[in-house]
Amino acid sequence: MAEIQLTSVEAFDGLLKPVGDVRPAGVRVRERSTLALATVMVRKGRRADLANRFSDAFGCALPDAGRRTEGNDLAFVSTGPGAWLACREHGGYEFSESLAETLSGLASVTDQSDAFAVLSLSGPRVKAVLAKGVFLDLGDAAFPEGHAAATQCGHVGVTLWRRPADEAGDPVYEVAMFRSYAESFWHWLSTSAAEYGLTVERAG
Amino acid sequence: MLLLECPYCGKRAESEFHCGGEAHIARPETPAELDDQAWAEYLYYRTNPKGLHAERWQHRHGCGRWFNALRDTVSDKVVETYKMGEPRPDASNANIPDPAKVRSA
Ligand SMILES: [Zn+2]
């Protein structure tokens, strides 16, 4: 049997490019291609046990609805009752395996690294761009760092969360979507950000 | 923009939701024993009130959960939303006819 060679291709491969006047750009976009992802769904009646296992293993609380928490080198985003999206930088496929082991008996873990595409969106005008596609109040009071939501952006289903501000002091949001929506999402993003200028930062 | 309150996510745009028709309709325990009329009533007969109506809604483009909503079919105002499995809230002070009484009238 011939050996199968698989090449890793980013979801936004060939799509992301600068848009509008970028001197300076109002929005910066970066594909978070090195993020390993997994969904975590609690087993019936085991939420309290899961919360304990979480704090023991990761040193962080299980996030409540609409929240994201970070622990050690990973993060958890609430996506609905009893459901979370787990993220680890450079976690690879081993991430979901080790997570499933850690949460064994308390939650079901499914690898989603190749199912979702994640974009980091930042810059001085990022809120103005997101306001064109998201029906949520993303202001600092209503949606500060650590807040998250399962919602829509440009009619694409997304999980959205806010990170700490970047070095320039600009707000940072990350948006996860099914990777087959990458082209549709880029169509919305490139059109919506054109008036502010958009630059592409190297994936990672 | 109309806002609906998901019991899990809070207030969201109506476009994130999907209505699933009248709530609190229990599937008969023994369908095979029903006559056609009784089965048809389970499948198709609805109260269709002018006033408060308990409906199933799904936060389809959010957390994905189903919940129930009490909606006034005259004003389209959603008076209350509540989780699946919870009883229909008492709307006696909402000054709107009870669908059960409308049906028997
Ligand atoms: Zn919801």
Average pLDDT over residues B7-26: 96
Neighbours of A39 (CB within 10 A): 18
CA distance B17 to chain A (A): 10
Q: Give B46-100 pLDDT, tens digit per residue.
A: 999 999 999 999 999 999 999 999 999 999 999 999 999 999 998 765 555 555 5
Taking only the tens place, the pLDDT of each residue in A95-154 is 999 999 999 999 999 999 999 999 999 999 999 999 999 999 999 999 999 999 999 999
Cα of A67 from ligand 1 centre, angstroms: 13
3-state secondary structure of A107: strand
Residues in chain A closer than 8 A to B62 (CB atoms): 80, 149-151
Q: Are residues A47 and A124 in the same domain?
A: no
Q: How far, in Å, from the CA of A15 to the mean position of ligand 1?
A: 31
Region A43-47: mean pLDDT is 97
> Which A residues in the span 168-197 are in contact with B, Cβ-Cβ below 8 Å?
none
Distance A151 CA to ligand 1 centre (A): 9
Are B16 and A151 inside 8 Å of each other by CB? Answer: yes
What pLDDT is attached to residue A203?
79
Element (H, E) at A144: none
Range of the domain at A166: 27-33+115-200
For range A51-76, the mean pLDDT: 93
Instruction: Burial-class residue A187 by CB neighbours within 10 Å (0-12, 13-18, 19+).
Output: middle
Name the residue with higher pLDDT: B102 or A171: A171
Q: How far apart are CA A15 and CA A20, in angstroms?
A: 15
User: Using CA atoms, how far apart are residues B67 and B23, in angstroms rounded to an integer?
Assistant: 9
Residues in A closer than 8 angstroms to B8, CB to CB, are: 65, 80-81
Query: Which chain A residues touch B10 with a CB distance below 8 Å?
Result: 65-66
Centre of ligand 1 from the C-alpha of residue B91, in Å: 23
Chain segment B27-45, per-residue pLDDT in tens = 999 999 999 999 999 999 9
Q: Are residues A171 and A189 in the same domain?
A: yes
CATH assignment of the domain containing A120:
3.30.1360.120
- Say what the pLDDT of residue B37 is: 96
Q: Which residues in B lie closer than 8 A to residue A81 (C-beta atoms)?
A: 8, 63, 65
Q: Which CATH superfamily is domain B3-27+35-83 in?
A: Folate-binding superfamily (3.30.2270.10)
- Residue A31 or residue B95, greater confidence: A31
Count of domains for chain A: 2
pLDDT at B105 over 80: no
Domains of chain B, residue spans: 3-27+35-83
| Final residue of a structural domain among A111, A128, A149 | A111
Task: Please tell me the predicted confidence (pLDDT) of residue A1.
Answer: 67
